[in-house]
Amino acid sequence: MEQASPLPRAPLARFAPIQRLLAAPRFPIYLCCTLLAILTSWYLGKEMQWDTLDYHLYAGFSAIHDRFSLDYFGAGVQSYFNPYAYAPFYLLATSGLTAFEVATIFAVIHSAILWLGYELAVAVAPWSEPRTRVAMGVCAVVLVFLNPVLIDQFGSSYADITTAELVLAGCLFLCRAFRAPGAWRIVSSGALLGAASALKLSNGLAAASLMIVPLFLAEGWRRRVGYAALLGSCIGASFVLVSAPWSIQLMRHFGNPLFPMLNNVFHSQYYTTGPNTDSLFIPATVSAALSRPFAMIAPVRRLHYEQPAPDLRYAILLVLGALVLMSWLMSRFGRKWFKATLALPGPDARPLLALSCAFLINWVVWLSVSGNSRYFLPTACLAAVLVVGTLFRLLARWPRARTCVVVVVLVAQFHAVASGAVFRAALPWNKGPWFDVSMPAELASKPALYFSRGIQANAFVVPFLAPGSGFINLDGGWILGPDGANGARIRALIERFSPRMRVLVADPAVHADRDVSIPHRVDVDDGLEPFGLRVDEGHCATIVAPYAPKVEVVTFGHTIPPLPVSQWYTRYLIACQVVPDGAGFGVVPPSERAANLALDRLEDECPAVLEPRRSETFLLNGPDNKGMWVRRYGNTHVSAWVSAGQVRFQAMVGRDSIHDLGSVDEWENAPPQIVCGRQPDGLFFVRVGSAR
């Protein structure tokens, strides 16, 4: 009887890598991370926040379609940030997939930040303890996830998570260089960190702080310094390569390759050359900065994020750092039994120490220039890894106590997030695409120049307008006027499109679904008047955007009325024809000249509060139906204006009252004595007389 020959092994060998992946401890962890991200995205609902409507879709659109010759500040200053990180969102949102399908794809991509949290914890764990490494990785994943700012962005259009993943991947290469040093790991890290910084400039702070990590390698000092220099060079080269396509365009059109950023260096005539730092989240005093880790425990709005986002991790990390320092001092000065508590001198503790120093540097710099946790996302994930890594090493001699402490930390963070965090508005999942814009046939077929009025640019409609249409946001983050270089650009677009021009305004009225009338008509005409234009309300059309909610904005007495839930889910935009008003382009009325003189002198008295200086003055019809010549100061979120012959000031964040600063005549002849500055609660003020 013939004996059967054994089956060939070659085909099975092809699946060996897949089998090893499925059998590896990280596979079920990765899978759980992905499922967690998808469930979080589904639970929070469709994301349609301010930035998504303002510039995210527009940025992705402009990354693929050249808008420089058609638009001007179409989505405000954000129009000119590097848009390539938003191109995937635009492509998916306009691909025909449903909103839930697009969000699920992004949730899967976003779950990689949890994978990287696991890998970083494993990289800083003791090399000879496999079980401890897995345990540290799992705990780090949980603590990375329990970040309200991170949770708020799963499945969203924001590019913070995707670019933060590049930062953490670069950090991981650096950590693995401690166990297997090599120039290729440094080069790979630099390439990732430079790309992340180019796609989102705020990542540059984390990238710069990580340049200290090679100095902790177990090598001679000459090689350490060489590796640090190599890392910095690779970060710079990668930044230039990724930025180049967009920066070349910016340089050609504005004379600043990073426009509008760093304009105090490049001095483009199209934007302010003064400081451009948003002070909203920066601590007002040194004591506030020192106490910020503990202040972040409370569910307070506008402390480090727009919404309440309590976070215990930084306070815990500060306490652990103090305990580590105390342990080291005790072990060095007579208490020998403390030496076994923390194995910092060992080679496997170098990554943890290096990342701790990088975190400290990044924390100090971030708190002094931003303080916004949305721009701290990669380092926030690193903080979770550092908390877990430090706890495991600090309590290495007492495993039961270590387990209890870790559980307490995780439960406390979970409780803080669950009880105090406020997440994005929960929009229901519709069966249609992310943007289901109903565009009137005339607007979809006939190109025109659109003037967007309002702080919210509503630039998400631009991809749905007729091909060849132009778009200008007159009074968003940067006010545009008829003078200077900006006026010349706008004049050229008006001459190019005339008479095909329209103004676009959001209509928040209760009956916006049936009434076609432009809201606050006087304000719209006042905004168009400097350009020699006015509204022709006899030729208007309505753009309907379901599942694009109305945004409540209170501006000098104009409030959005209460709406039923069904109407809150739909945004109505009124597009009216614009015609010449006969006054001429750039004509300055006498009342504006007097207001400008008073506001200029007010700025000279309070340069630190009224920034950026010499911004455009615009006219509004105030709550008392009297004209208000207004200047808005984006750095400090305050406004100053002239109304009824009086100079007034108000902080637009918080519950600040209106401050009367004297008459226009006083400011013209003998300016009153005023005090200005910042209060301990962060509120900026300008008042006559005492600061109290």
Contacts of residue 587, defined as CB under 8 A and 6 or more positions apart, other chains included, come to 530, 532
H, E, C per residue of 488-499: HHHHHHHHHHCC
- Provide the pLDDT confidence category of residue 558 given band limits of 50, 70 and 90: very low
Average pLDDT over residues 585-599: 87
Spacing of C-alpha 73 from chain mean position: 18
Cα 39 from Cα 33, distance rounded (Å): 10
Strands 71-72 and 470-473: parallel
Q: What is the pLDDT of residue 682?
A: 80
* Contact (CB, 8 A) for 132 and 126: yes
66 φ, ψ (degrees, to nearest 5): -70, 115
Place of tokens 């984006």: 634
Assess whether pLDDT exceeds 80 at residue 368: yes
Q: How many separate helices (H) and strands (E) can be counted in the chain?
A: 27, 14
Compute CA distances 459 → 186, 216, 250, 462, whole Å: 40, 47, 20, 6
The single-letter DSSP state of residue 336 is G
| Amino acid making up residue 349 | A
- For residue 655, is pLDDT > 90? no
| pLDDT at residue 343 in the model | 44
- All structural domains of the chain with their residue ranges: 17-46+96-420, 441-580, 590-688
CA distances from 480 to 200, 607, 622 (A): 25, 21, 20
Stated pTM of the model = 0.92
108 has pLDDT over 90: yes
Is residue 146 within 8 Å of 413, Cβ to Cβ?
yes
Contacts of 8 (CB under 8 A, 6+ apart): none
Q: At what angle do helices 399-420 and 130-145 cross, to 10 degrees?
A: 20
Structure tokens at 326: 């105390």
Which residue is it, tokens 């109505």? 572
What are the structure tokens assigned to 371, written together? 């303080």
- Across the range 322-343, mean pLDDT stands at 63
Return the ∠ at Cα 551 (arms to 576 and 91), rounded to 5°.
80
Mean pLDDT, residues 642-668 taken together? 88
Residues 292, 201: Cα–Cα separation, whole Å: 24
Instruction: Give residue 555's pLDDT.
Output: 42
Average pLDDT, the chain: 88
Lowest mean pLDDT among 141-150, 167-176, 564-573: 564-573
Comparing 352-366, 484-498, 502-516, the range with the smallest average pLDDT is 502-516
Phi, psi of 349 (to 5 degrees): -95, -10
Tell me the pLDDT band of 557, cut-offs 50, 70 and 90: very low
Is pLDDT of 163 > 80? Answer: yes
Residue whose pair of structure tokens reads 């949290």 in the numeric block: 117
Residue with the bigger pLDDT between 528 and 654: it is: 528
Residue 471 and residue 463 in contact, taking contact as beta carbons nearer than 8 Å = no
Tell me how far apart the alpha carbons of residues 516 and 230 are, in angstroms, rounded to a whole number.
62
Residue 77 Ramachandran class (φ > 0 left, ψ -120 to 50 alpha, else beta): alpha
pLDDT tens digits for range 468-488: 999 999 987 789 999 999 999
How much is the average pLDDT of 343-365?
Answer: 86
Residue spans of beta strands (DSSP E) within 328-381: none
Q: Binning pLDDT at 50, 70 and 90, where does residue 3 land? A: low
Instruction: Report the pLDDT value the prediction gives residue 671, as an integer from 0 to 100.
Output: 83
pLDDT confidence of residue 1: 46
| pLDDT tens digit sequence for 259-278 | 999 999 999 999 998 888 88
Question: How far, in Å, are 524, 531, 629, 631 from residue 619 at the CA level?
Answer: 9, 13, 5, 9
Which of 536, 604, 547 shows the shortest CA–CA distance to 574?
536
pLDDT digits (tens, 9 = 90+) for 429-452: 888 899 999 999 999 999 999 999
3-state SS, 461-481, equals HHHHCCCCCEEEECECCCECC
